[in-house]
Amino acid sequence: MAIESQYYLLLSAAIFCIGVYGILTRQNALLFLMSVELMLNAANINLVAFSFYHGNLTGQVFSLFTMALAAAEVAVGIGIVLVLYRNFEDIDVTKAATMRW
Amino acid sequence: MAGAFDFVPAIAALPLLAFVIALFAGQYMPKRGAEAGIAATAGSLILSIWTALTVAGMTGSETFYNENLYTWVAGVADSAVTLRLGVLVDPLTALMLVIVSLIALLVHVFSLGYMNDEGETGLPRYYAGLGLFTASMLAFVFSNNILMAFMFFELVGLCSYLLIGFWFREDGPPSAAKKAFLVTRFGDYFFLIGVVGIFATFGTGLFAPVEAASGTMESFPHMAEMAIEESETFFGYGAQTWMTILGLLVLGGVVGKSAQFPLHTWLPDAMEGPTPVSALIHAATMVAAGVYLVARMYGFYALSPQALAVIALIGGFTALFAATMGVVKQELKQVLAYSTISQYGYMMLALGAGGYVAAVFHLTTHAIFKALLFLGAGSVIIAMHHNENMWDMGGLKDKMPVTYWTFLSGSLALAGIVPFAGFWSKDEVLFEALIHGVGTEGTLGAMFLLAYAMGLLAVFFTGFYTFRMVYLTFHGNARTDVARDPEPVRWNVKAPLAVLGIGAATVGLVNMAPVEKLTGLHIDFLHQWLDGPEEGGWPDALSTDLHHYEELLHNVPHVDPAYPIGGEQTTLIVSAALSLGLALGGVLLARSLYGVDEPVEHTDKLGGAKALLTHNYYQDESQVWLAQGVTVPLARAADKFDQGVVDGVVNGVSSVSLFTGSRFRRIQSGVVSNYAALMTLSLVLLLVAFVVLGGVA
């Protein structure tokens, strides 16, 4: 028997909140990236769940796009982390605070 | 076949080319650019004479020319104004072209003696200035619309600035140049408004109608005439009033350039420039430009009795006013400067009083004899090692005979002694003013008579100061060592003097109207030249002929001649005798006071008037007071308003945003986590708001 849709949504919400919590509390840039990934995947779970609920494939196709996009985003993100490390000898996001007024 | 008219633009283009050559290649030439100027002005003179002969009908049936040659701003909509450059050649243009190019040529030749032989530096700049000056004046003369005329009018002003300030390392010339530029600019400001007004009213600035492929383009004087006939209204004014307003605005430029009261103060100071430049400015360009402009658009001024009255009064008053100041001057060129102002006053008087031919005639003769007098003065100044004070001269008559005799010829012409040029023209000016003053009814006639009286009185002063100058400079005993042994002058000084000296004695013969009226011989050639053929020809096509102007004067302001003393002939004889007698009286008074071996100053006899006259009626002082006592406080108040109120509002608004910005920027901590927290919080707040308010829709 199939699992009810609301459980998927609960799971997705939980993962999203973990991601948000990570972004708000962590200082390590890599953990930042990971938290962002968690949030993205929470959205993916939502898409697949609704796709299943409606009985068509649109949501699943869309989540594939999201994954491809996430891959590209990670590449950019890691690039930024690298530059961050080169400039500050550290990957603490709170230290890169010079570009302000 | 290419006729003379196809080459008319070249008359101005040649000196322009000389300007470029002198400017860039002048320093490599043996005479520092004078060659280019002389060749170009000689070319212009030949082309001008050819043009004049063509206008006279000696080379074919084409005797006039009026074409638009270049469109530089094409109006797109139907009602839009199209701005063009074009050439208008009628007898007035042809006459003026010949005068200007002749004087310019002689001035260039004279400059060889005055500038090159004296070892001046910066000569390429000098000859470039002369070239541009000549080019702009010539182009001004053949302009066929008022906007083009205005452009070249301004260029003439610019060139005068450059040339008056030629010796820029000294103190006087740069300040005189600035004064000349600013004072004439002040008048030109009104001229510019007038030009805009004319374009706004008529949509065209043409002086005379142009036959184009698309039909005839009407001229603005003609349209003004039609508007007055049909009693149209413009901007809430009746046609007559509006034409007067436009005419007076344009007159502002004329008063500035032609050095009429109250904008004449720049001209005596302009004597700081090199003497050949003074000759060019006074005789043929710049100062002549103003009077020429009135003559050019006479069909417009003839429509407005008020404008005519103003012109006549300004002219008559300036003639007398300037002549009285000339009486006490000690420097040769200063006397000549005031005589120029005075003589241009006569021309304005003639134009105002309906004596169109008289004005053009006096413009012609004055160009010759004033150029002569200035070049003669230049010759004396060379001889005196650039000392211009007449009290240091004396006895130069025997040392420099060519200069003396030619100068005498010019002086007799200036004083108006028969049969020299100035007599014929000045007499005609006064005669026209008299008969039109008597014949015109109401205030206009009274104004003419008042102007006539002032002009007549000025004749006496003219005779006096002219011969005071001659006696002090050339007669008596030499009063300084330099005057005892003056520096000799060469052919390049004497030749222009000789040409002009003969001209000053004879050019009056072109229009001996008194003789014509007394004897019935048809020898008033200038009159016929400006009147044109009775049927067809240029008068029909251009309506710039004397006959048309006389009709206008009769129909609109009702200016008519009348002969107060007996018939025409008696009036003529009495008028001529009166002006000749006054002139001779002035000459004889000068002779009795200064025609002695050891002349002394007699100015103390004038009493209180002496200070008034030597200070030029405190004109400069009062104008400086106007600038410092009125304009500066006014400008300061305007500045205060601008800085306080206008800028205050703007600054107040911007300080509010500056303040809020400075507070808000504090949330930009630069820490990514803070931004993330802010975003999350905002999103949560947004969601809460949606929930509370019940969704988007």
pLDDT, one tens digit per residue, over A15-40 is: 999 999 998 888 888 998 999 999 99
For residues B543 and B219, the answer to whether their CB atoms sit within 8 Å is: yes
Q: Is B598 helix (H, G, I), strand (E, B) or coil?
A: coil
Cβ–Cβ of A101/B672 closer than 8 Å? no
Say whether residue B678 is in contact with chain A using an 8 A CB cutoff.
Answer: no
Provide residues of A within 8 Å CB-CB of chain B.
Answer: 20, 23-27, 32, 93-94, 96-101
CA distance B504 to B497: 10
Antiparallel, parallel or unpaired: β B215-217 and B83-89: unpaired
Q: Is B64 left (phi over 0), alpha (psi -120 to 50) or beta?
A: beta
Q: What is the DSSP string of B163-193?
A: HHTSSTTSSHHHHHHHHHHHHHHHHHHHHHH
For residues B185 and B178, the answer to whether their CB atoms sit within 8 Å is: no
Q: Is A98 helix (H, G, I), strand (E, B) or coil?
A: coil
Cβ–Cβ of A94/B677 closer than 8 Å? no
CA dihedral A8, A11, A12, A17 (to 10 degrees): 160
Nearest residue on chain B to A27, alpha-carbon basis: B673
Q: What is the ipTM of this complex?
A: 0.83
Per CB-CB distance under 8 Å, the chain B contacts of A32 are 672
pLDDT value at residue B1: 45
Nearest residue on chain A to B675, alpha-carbon basis: A24
Say whether residue B214 is in contact with chain A using an 8 A CB cutoff.
Answer: no
Q: What is the mean pLDDT of each run of 10 residues along chain B (697 residues)?
A: 76 89 83 84 90 80 79 73 84 89 89 79 86 91 89 89 87 87 89 90 84 77 83 80 88 87 84 86 84 89 87 90 84 87 90 87 89 88 81 80 87 84 86 85 84 88 88 82 77 84 82 76 78 75 80 81 77 85 87 79 71 75 82 91 91 93 84 86 91 75
Nearest residue on chain B to A28, alpha-carbon basis: B673
pLDDT value at residue B22: 87
Say whether residue B693 is in contact with chain A using an 8 A CB cutoff.
Answer: no
CA distance B32 to B23: 9
Number of residues assigned to chain B = 697
Give the nearest partner residue to A97 out of B671, B676, B677, using CB atoms: B671
Token pair in block for residue B634: 């006014």
CA distance B557 to B316: 19
- pLDDT (tens digit, 9 = 90+) per residue, A1-10? 578 888 999 9
pLDDT value at residue B484: 79
CA distance A3 to B40: 106
pLDDT value at residue B56: 81
Positive or negative, the CA dihedral B111, B184, B364, B59 is positive
pLDDT tops 80 at residue A43:
yes
* pTM (two decimals): 0.78
Domain boundaries, chain A: 5-91
Element (H, E) at B40: helix B34-55
Cβ–Cβ of A96/B677 closer than 8 Å? no
For helices B172-202 and B220-229, the axis angle rounded to 10 degrees is: 50
Say whether residue B637 is in contact with chain A using an 8 A CB cutoff.
Answer: no
Per CB-CB distance under 8 Å, the chain B contacts of A96 are 670, 672
**What single-letter amino acid sits at B575?**
S
Say whether residue B673 is in contact with chain A using an 8 A CB cutoff.
Answer: yes
pLDDT value at residue A21: 92
For residues B541 and B218, the answer to whether their CB atoms sit within 8 Å is: no
CA distance B570 to B578: 12
End-to-end CA distance of chain B: 85
Nearest by Cα to B619 from B348, B389, B338? B338
Cβ–Cβ of B670/A93 closer than 8 Å? no
| CATH of span A5-91 | 1.10.287.3510
Cβ–Cβ of B673/A96 closer than 8 Å? no
pLDDT value at residue B695: 64
* Partner residues linked to B88 by β-bridges: B66
